[in-house]
Structure 1
Amino acid sequence: MATYKKRGYKPKNKAEEVEQVEENSTTAEVFNTLDEGASRTEEWVAANQKYILGGVALIAIVILGYLGFQKFIQEPKEQEAANEMFKAQQYFDLAVNGNSTVKDSIYNLALNGGEGKYGFLEIIENYGGTKAANLANYYAGFAYLNTNKYQEAINYLDEFKSDDEMLGPLALGGIGDAFSQLGQLDEALGYYEKAAKAKDNNFTTPKFLLKAGITAISLNKPAIAIQYLERVKEEFPKSVEANQVDVHLGKASAMQ
């Protein structure tokens, strides 16, 4: 076992003298190795200094370029797109809440523009990559869905991407509605299931669980229907959908 020896310690015998020589030799070897490693590192840095500085400069340019793009190009573009879309959103709200006899015409204004203002389709085309263009896909999808243009609805709603508590599930459910209207019930069921799972809340979850259950009944899948309908009844008893569950549960149970 090694023992501590004070500085200036003199060996008492030949064996200790040999041990001290070996220790000093090992220590010197360690420091020599460290010195050689440091020298090689310094030599490599010196030899590649031009490339290192170039790499650092390139990273700095990329970062500054990104920040400049966001500040001077993307942010103004986002603001302009939001301003341009305001009128189209007004048309959309008017169509949803207004007179049903003229709603198709108003949805058309929302899609294609009016009064010298862009519609959703032009926002998507001219402001790609902005939040407004993404949201315009959502509005355009539902405008097409509400005017019975189901494939167009699917196309635009599928382009909409969002983690929003409401809009994300509603877009998925809208695709399900479009597929249902096209008679493609398997696809509709899949999207209703996605919509129900996307977010857990008291509005969209029971809404699309009920639609999934009804669609499963139409597909002659009573076990799946019962599973979804019972979830509405047990997990969302105060929801509007819960009042409709018993009728559909009766149909599903009779099919088994």
Structure 2
Amino acid sequence: MATYKKRGYKPKNKKEQEELIQEESTTAEVFDSLDESASKTEAFISKNQNVILSVIVLITVVVLGYLGYQNFILGPKEKEAAAEMHQAQVFFDNAINATGTAQDSIFKLAINGGNAKPGFVAVADNFSGTKTAALANYYAGISYLNIGEYQKAIDHLDRFNLNDEVIAPMAKGALGDAFLQINQPKEALGYFESAISLSKNSFTTPKYLLKAAITALEIKEPAKALGYLERINEEFPEATEARQAKALTGKAEGLM
């Protein structure tokens, strides 16, 4: 362990004198090394000054450009997109609450527009890159799903790219529903599994666990189905899906 020695300290014997000389030599070497490193750093900066400054300027330009885009272009564009999509959302809400042929007609208004306002498809195209456009693709996909145009539903739902805890898994789940409708259960199961993995909550998770289990049973994968059913029973016993999960558990066990 090193000991502190006052300035002007004189060694008492030869051993202390040798230790003092060694300490002073080591200290000198450290400072020489630091001086050498500093000199090399200064030389590097001097030699590459133009490159370093160019990189700093480039980073500054990129950051300022991003902030400018966010504040002066994307911000106003989001507001305009939201205003333009309002009527389509009204149509969508009305369609959800309607029945029969009237429901299909109102969903088509939500998709294509009405009352001199654009529908979800136009909003998604005209305001690409905004969060509103992503939502427009989601609503368009759900609308197409409800009127039986499954490939168009897939096309729009596949463009939804927001990391929302509820809507993101619902978009994946809706893709699963669309693939089931076109008789592609394996692809559907993959989307239900994606919906499960995106977010754990009491609304979407048990819903897609059950759909995944039913689809797994359909493609003769009872072990996988049983795993999903057990998750519902253990993690979401109060969910509305729990009763059906318990009924299907016996079926899955019997197929193994």
TM-score by length of 1: 0.83
Judged with a 3 Å threshold, the aligned counterparts in structure 2 of structure 1 residues 24 and 76 are, in CA distance, closer, same or farther, namely same
**Match runs of 1:208-219 below 5 Å:** 208-219=208-219
Determine the structure 2 residue equivalent to 1:123.
Answer: 123
2: distance between equivalents of 1:203 and 1:17?
A: 79
Determine the structure 2 residue equivalent to 1:114.
Answer: 114
- 1:18-45 CA-partner distances (Å, limit 9, x unpaired): 9998987776676566555544544443
Q: Secondary structure at the match of 1:159?
A: coil
1: distance between equivalents of 2:169 and 2:187?
A: 16
Q: Which runs of 5+ in 2 are unaligned?
A: none
> Does 1:187 find its partner at 2:183?
no
Deviation at 1:237, TM superposition (A): 2.4
Deviation at 1:110, TM superposition (A): 1.1
Two-structure CA RMSD over aligned residues (Å): 3.2
> Does 1:178 find its partner at 2:178?
yes
Determine the structure 2 residue equivalent to 1:242.
Answer: 242
Judged with a 3 Å threshold, the aligned counterparts in structure 2 of structure 1 residues 114 and 40 are, in CA distance, closer, same or farther, namely same
Q: Which segment drifts farther, 40-49 or 59-68?
A: 40-49
Q: Secondary structure at the match of 1:161?
A: coil
Judged with a 3 Å threshold, the aligned counterparts in structure 2 of structure 1 residues 254 and 116 are, in CA distance, closer, same or farther, namely same
**Match runs of 1:143-222 below 5 Å:** 143-222=143-222
TM-score by length of 2: 0.83
1: distance between equivalents of 2:69 and 2:20?
A: 66
Judged with a 3 Å threshold, the aligned counterparts in structure 2 of structure 1 residues 163 and 62 are, in CA distance, closer, same or farther, namely closer
Determine the structure 2 residue equivalent to 1:223.
Answer: 223
Percent same amino acid among aligned pairs?
52
- AA matched with 1:7: G
Q: Which runs of 5+ in 1 are unaligned?
A: none
- 1:47-74 CA-partner distances (Å, limit 9, x unpaired): 4434433333333222222222211111
Q: How many residues end up aligned between the 2 structures?
A: 255
CA contact (8 A) 2:11 2:20 kept: no
Judged with a 3 Å threshold, the aligned counterparts in structure 2 of structure 1 residues 28 and 160 are, in CA distance, closer, same or farther, namely closer
